[in-house]
Amino acid sequence: MLKVKCFPLGELMANCFFVADEEGKVSFVVDPGDRSAQLEECIDRFGAKKLKYILLTHGHFDHIAGVASLKREYPDAKIVIGEGDKNFTSHDDLNLAWHFGLSCQSFKVDMTVNEGDELPFGDSSIKVISTPGHTKGGVCYITGGCIFTGDTLISGTTGRTDFPTGSLHDMYNSMSRLASIKENLTVYCGHGQSSTMDIERRYNTYIRKFLP
């Protein structure tokens, strides 16, 4: 079992998640969109050396703006992003910071991932699903009965596709991919409340479209 704590961060209140295994062995962070003393306190209480990954679902500034500072505090944690979004970390036009009159401190990723990759995590692993559409390198992460979907699947809807590298065609394919998931995973979205795959199969029009 995993313990998941949500921290809505930044001007757009994007969800950042601190995730730890119940046995207290390892942890990871998903989408740190801003610096957060509360997040760092949570990491330190669990054990700073146990933070294994900083996982990024995509490269928009509201999901990555806190990565550089977090990496400085926890240099052993590996920064992971989808292959197609690796350039977002140093280009404010791609990560949209420039469009909001902001800047995002650039950083280098430690690892890029693609469909089907698996990251070791304690006694288990984190499975990567490629879900382009919101951005070309968008990914979701599955582990311990949870899926972290960023802005691909948001409770009851899906993310926009009209930003640079976005694609409506790709988003439909990604929602079809998610619709094929049979487990009732807990869905941790990039914005808003969490959900479950059963709820999304029942109420999310974009998921229901692809159900048999």
Place of tokens 């990914």: 139
Amino acid 126: pLDDT = 98
CATH architecture of 2-208: 4-Layer Sandwich (3.60)
Mark 93-112 as b/e (b = at least 16 C-beta within 10 Å): ebbbbeeeeeebeebebeeb
The reported pLDDT for the residue numbered 136 is: 98
Summarize pLDDT for 165-176 with one digit per residue, the tens.
Answer: 999 999 999 999
d(CA 33, CA 6): 12
pLDDT per position as a tens digit, 114-140: 999 999 999 999 999 999 999 999 999
Domain boundaries, the chain: 2-208
Residue 211 predicted with pLDDT over 90: no
Distance CA 59, CA 188 (A): 17
Q: What are the tens digits of pLDDT across the range 7-62? A: 999 989 999 999 999 887 999 999 999 999 999 999 999 999 999 999 999 999 99
Q: Please write the tens of the pLDDT for every residue from 99-111.
A: 889 989 999 999 9
